[in-house]
C-alpha cells in the first residue's frame, strides 16, 4: 500500500499540462447539494472513493487524484460525478486508459465522462480524475461552507473543510447526494510534516516522504459524501478505550491544538464516555465502533463529520452542565450518519431528533427541571414561518433560504418529538426511534448497517409500533407553518376547548386540564372537549407542558423581541 501511496505523491507533484481552464467562481449548481441525480448516477453504486489530496497552505490550494469505483445497476455508457469548476482537471482515465479531452466535459460542475463501452448490470468501472486549484473559501463555515484557512495560536496553519450545505464536490469528485453514500473511502492526505491530518474512519498509518511532506492514511465505510472531511493543524491527541454497555469496546480520540489548556482538554474529554453511554442507553449501540469515536478541534463552530466530528466551541461552559456542541454533533452519528435522510426535505430527522437528545440528556444528567428549561428555550425560538416538511424534494441548505424553515428543523422538530413521546409513552417512542435509526428494534454490534429514512418512514414506524393512526400529528406540526391553536371558551360552569391547525385538518390531540390541582385528560377525539369548572376555580391547561401549541406569552415575547 505504501508503495502505491508514494507513487501517488509523485503523480501529484508532476501534474500534466492543464486540459481545461477552471471557472472563476463556483457555479450555482455546485453550491447546491442533494439536487436530482443524473440518470447515469442513479444507474450505479458508489463502491470506493480513493482520494489522494495534497494540501498546500502557502497557496491555499490543493493538488489531488481521485480514483472512484462504480458498479452498474442498469446499462450505462458514461460516468457522471460533480466537481467544482474552480478546479483545473489535468487528466481523466477510465480503467487505466486516458480519456481524450473531447470525451469528457465539466459544464457547471457536473463532470461527464464517456466510458467507451456500455456497462451492464454487475460490471464495474474505475474513474480517475487528476485535478488542482484553489478550492472555495467558506464565507461563514459551517453555514456557508468550503475550506477554512486559519492560523493556530502557535502560528501554524490550521485548516478544515465544512461542506454540508454545498456538498462534497467543493473539494473532491463525487455524486453529490445523500442517496449516493460511499461504501468505502480511502483518504491519503499529504500535508507539511510539522502538521497532523486526522480524518474519518480507521487510521492506516503515515508515510514521511523525507522532503518536508507527510501523507496521513485513513479508511471509512458507509459514509455520506459531505461527511468526508479534511482537518489539518498542529494537533495533539488524547485517547482512551470506551467499554460499551453492549459488550464491545472501541477507541475515543480527541485531536486538539497543542497550545490548548490541558485542564480544559481533560474536562472536555471526560464528557465523551457519559455522552456515549446516554446515546447507547437511549437510542442504541454506537454505529461505528469498528472504527472510532473521534472529535477534532476546528477553526469553525462544528459539523457532524462521521467518526471525526468537528468541534469549535472553545470549551465554553454554560448552565447546561455539558458541552452542547459536542453533544449535538455526537448525536449525528446516529441521526445523520447511521440513519440518513432520504431527501433534504426530511432533514428534521437529523436535526430535530438530534436536537431533542439535548433536553433528554439534560434530564439524564440533572433531572426534569433542566430538561424543561431547554424545551422552553426551544419553544421561545420558533419562527413558524414555513413548514418543516414541504412534501417536495429540496436541496441541502434550502432550509436556510428566505422560503425555508430555518432553525425550525431543529427546534420544532425536537418539540414535535417531545409531544409524540408524551402522547405514545416512553416505550413506544424509544422503540420507534431505535427502529428508525437501525432498521430493527433490537440492534447489537454487528447486526445492522446504515439506513436511509423519510418522514413517512418514521410515521409508518410509529403507527406500527402503537397501532394508532398518527399522521395528523406530523401533519399538524411539521407540514404546517403555524402551530396548532387551542381555542378556549367558557359558558357557566363549562370550559370548552377546540383545536385549530394551519390547514384546518382534524387534530385529535388529547389535552390535560388541571382544575384546582385535579388533572383530567380530555380525549379531544374530534378536536373538541369540555370540562366542568366551578366559579373561581384555578384552571391550568397542559400543566406539565406536554403538548406543543401556540402560546400567547411566547408570541408576546417574540413580538417585543423583534
The answer as to whether 155 is a domain residue is no
The answer as to whether 148 is a domain residue is no
| C-beta of residue 135 within 8 angstroms of C-beta of residue 86 | yes
The answer as to whether 229 is a domain residue is no
Task: Provide the pLDDT for residue 13.
Answer: 39
Distance CA 485, CA 396 (A): 31
Q: Please determine, for residue 22, whether its predicted confidence score (pLDDT) is greater than 70.
A: no
Task: Provide the pLDDT for residue 3.
Answer: 34
The answer as to whether 147 is a domain residue is no
The answer as to whether 474 is a domain residue is yes
Distance CA 47, CA 434 (A): 27
pTM value?
0.94
Pair (554, 526) in one structural domain: yes
The mean per-residue pLDDT over the stretch 539-546 comes to 97
Pair (291, 355) in one structural domain: yes
Pair (438, 531) in one structural domain: no
Pair (274, 214) in one structural domain: no
**Last residue of one domain, picked from the residues 433, 461, 478:** 478
Distance CA 482, CA 317 (A): 34
Order of strands across the sheet that contains 539-541: 518-522, 511-515, 539-541
The pLDDT tens digits for 325-376 are: 999 999 999 999 999 999 999 999 999 999 999 999 999 999 999 999 999 9
**Last residue of one domain, picked from the residues 184, 201, 224:** 224
Of 208, 225, 221, the C-alpha closest to 5 is 208
Pair (93, 9) in one structural domain: yes
Model confidence at 400, pLDDT cuts 50, 70, 90, reads low
Pair (266, 313) in one structural domain: yes
The answer as to whether 497 is a domain residue is yes
DSSP string, 254-288: EEEETTS-HHHHHHHHTTHHHHHHHHHHHT-S-TT
The pLDDT tens digits for 39-85 are: 999 999 999 999 999 999 999 999 999 999 999 999 999 999 999 99
The answer as to whether 146 is a domain residue is no
The pLDDT tens digits for 477-520 are: 999 999 999 999 998 899 999 999 999 999 999 999 999 999 99
Distance CA 31, CA 150 (A): 22
Pair (191, 270) in one structural domain: no
Distance CA 185, CA 225 (A): 9
| C-beta of residue 335 within 8 angstroms of C-beta of residue 355 | no
Residue 473 C-alpha cell reads as: 400529528
Tally of domains in the chain: 3
Distance CA 483, CA 380 (A): 12
Model confidence at 412, pLDDT cuts 50, 70, 90, reads very high
Of 158, 237, 221, the C-alpha closest to 191 is 158
Pair (517, 462) in one structural domain: no
Pair (449, 496) in one structural domain: no
**Last residue of one domain, picked from the residues 419, 448, 478:** 478
Q: At what angle do helices 455-466 and 426-438 cross, to 10 degrees?
A: 140
Pair (112, 219) in one structural domain: yes
The pLDDT tens digits for 91-123 are: 999 999 999 999 999 999 999 999 999 999 999
Task: Provide the pLDDT for residue 562.
Answer: 67
CATH code of the domain covering residue 215: 2.60.40.1730
Domain hosting residue 52, numbered range: 2-136+164-224
Name 491's Cβ contacts closer than 8 Å, sequence gap at least 6: none
Task: Provide the pLDDT for residue 6.
Answer: 37
Task: Provide the pLDDT for residue 10.
Answer: 37
Q: Please determine, for residue 18, whether its predicted confidence score (pLDDT) is greater than 90.
A: no
Residue 504 Cα distances to 404, 433, 507, angstroms: 22, 29, 9
Residue 354 C-alpha cell reads as: 438530534
The pLDDT tens digits for 195-221 are: 999 999 999 999 999 999 999 999 999
Pair (503, 461) in one structural domain: no
CATH code of the domain covering residue 523: 2.60.40
Residue 426 C-alpha cell reads as: 416512553
The answer as to whether 231 is a domain residue is no
CATH code of the domain covering residue 440: 1.10.390.10
Burial 64-73 (b: 16+ CB within 10 A, else e): bbbbbbbbbe
Model confidence at 557, pLDDT cuts 50, 70, 90, reads confident
* Residue 365 DSSP label: H
* Higher-confidence position of 170 and 397: 170
Give helix then strand counts, H and E, for the chain: 12, 27
Within its chain, how far is the Cα of 472 from the centroid?
27
* Higher-confidence position of 20 and 483: 483
* Percent residues over pLDDT 90 in the chain: 90
Residue 355: what are its φ and ψ, rounded to 5°? -70, -35
Residue 294 Cα distances to 50, 129, 203, 357, angstroms: 21, 30, 11, 19
Task: Provide the pLDDT for residue 317.
Answer: 87
Pair (325, 197) in one structural domain: no
| C-beta of residue 314 within 8 angstroms of C-beta of residue 345 | no
Q: Please determine, for residue 289, whether its predicted confidence score (pLDDT) is greater than 80.
A: yes
* Residue 396 DSSP label: B
Task: Provide the pLDDT for residue 560.
Answer: 76
Amino acid at each position: 500500500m505504501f508503495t502505491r501511496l508514494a507513487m501517488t505523491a509523485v503523480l501529484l507533484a508532476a501534474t500534466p499540462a492543464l486540459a481545461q481552464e477552471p471557472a472563476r467562481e463556483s457555479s450555482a449548481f455546485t453550491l447546491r447539494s442533494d439536487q436530482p441525480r443524473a440518470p447515469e448516477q442513479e444507474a450505479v453504486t458508489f463502491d470506493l472513493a480513493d482520494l489522494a489530496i495534497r494540501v498546500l497552505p502557502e497557496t491555499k490550494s490543493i493538488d489531488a487524484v481521485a480514483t472512484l469505483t462504480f458498479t452498474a445497476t442498469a446499462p450505462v455508457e458514461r460516468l457522471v460525478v460533480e466537481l467544482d469548476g474552480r478546479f483545473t482537471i489535468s487528466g481523466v482515465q477510465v480503467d487505466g486508459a486516458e480519456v481524450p479531452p473531447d470525451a469528457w466535459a465539466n459544464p457547471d460542475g457536473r463532470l461527464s465522462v464517456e466510458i467507451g463501452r456500455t456497462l451492464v448490470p454487475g460490471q464495474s468501472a474505475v474513474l480517475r480524475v487528476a485535478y488542482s486549484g484553489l478550492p472555495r473559501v467558506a464565507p461563514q463555515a459551517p453555514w456557508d461552507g468550503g475550506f477554512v484557512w486559519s492560523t493556530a495560536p502557535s502560528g501554524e496553519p490550521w485548516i478544515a473543510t465544512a461542506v454540508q450545505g454545498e456538498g462534497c464536490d467543493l473539494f473532491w469528485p463525487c455524486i453529490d447526494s445523500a442517496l449516493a453514500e460511499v461504501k468505502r473511502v480511502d483518504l491519503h492526505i499529504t500535508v507539511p510534516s510539522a502538521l497532523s491530518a486526522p480524518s474519518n474512519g480507521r487510521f492506516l498509518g503515515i508515510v514521511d516522504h523525507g522532503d518536508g511532506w507527510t501523507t496521513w492514511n485513513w479508511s471509512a465505510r458507509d459514509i455520506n459524501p459531505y461527511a468526508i472531511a479534511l482537518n489539518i493543524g498542529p494537533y495533539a491527541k488524547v485517547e482512551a478505550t470506551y467499554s460499551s454497555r453492549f459488550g464491545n469496546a472501541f477507541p475515543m480520540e480527541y485531536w486538539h491544538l497543542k497550545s490548548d489548556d490541558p485542564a480544559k482538554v481533560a474536562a472536555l474529554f471526560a464528557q465523551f464516555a457519559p455522552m456515549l453511554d446516554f446515546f447507547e442507553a437511549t437510542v442504541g449501540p454506537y454505529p461505528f465502533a469498528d472504527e472510532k469515536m473521534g472529535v477534532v478541534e476546528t477553526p469553525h463552530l462544528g459539523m457532524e463529520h462521521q467518526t471525526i466530528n468537528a468541534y469549535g466551541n472553545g470549551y465554553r461552559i454554560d448552565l447546561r452542565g455539558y458541552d452542547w456542541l459536542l453533544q449535538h454533533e455526537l448525536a449525528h452519528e446516529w441521526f445523520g450518519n447511521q440513519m440518513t435522510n432520504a431527501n433534504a426535505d426530511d432533514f428534521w430527522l437529523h436535526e430535530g431528533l438530534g436536537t431533542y437528545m439535548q433536553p433528554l440528556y439534560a434530564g439524564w444528567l440533572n433531572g426534569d427541571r433542566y430538561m424543561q428549561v431547554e424545551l422552553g428555550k426551544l419553544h421561545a425560538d420558533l419562527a413558524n414561518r414555513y413548514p418543516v416538511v414541504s412534501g417536495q424534494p429540496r436541496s441541502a441548505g434550502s432550509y436556510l433560504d428566505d422560503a425555508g424553515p430555518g432553525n425550525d428543523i431543529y427546534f420544532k422538530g425536537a418539540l414535535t418529538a417531545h409531544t409524540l413521546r408524551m402522547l405514545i409513552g416512553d416505550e413506544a417512542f424509544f422503540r420507534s426511534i431505535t427502529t428508525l435509526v437501525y432498521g430493527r428494534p433490537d440492534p447489537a454490534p454487528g447486526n445492522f448497517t446504515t439506513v436511509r429514512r423519510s418522514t413517512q418512514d418514521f410515521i409508518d414506524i410509529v403507527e406500527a409500533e402503537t397501532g394508532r393512526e398518527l399522521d395528523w400529528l406530523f401533519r399538524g406540526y411539521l407540514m404546517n407553518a403555524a402551530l396548532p391553536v387551542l381555542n378556549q371558551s367558557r359558558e357557566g360552569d363549562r370550559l370548552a376547548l377546540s383545536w385549530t391547525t394551519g390547514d384546518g385538518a382534524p387534530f385529535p390531540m388529547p389535552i390535560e386540564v388541571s382544575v384546582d390541582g385535579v388533572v383530567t385528560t380530555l380525549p379531544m377525539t374530534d378536536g373538541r372537549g369540555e370540562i366542568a369548572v366551578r366559579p373561581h376555580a384555578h384552571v391550568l391547561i397542559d400543566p406539565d407542558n406536554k403538548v406543543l401549541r401556540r402560546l400567547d406569552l411566547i408570541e408576546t415575547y417574540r413580538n417585543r423581541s423583534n
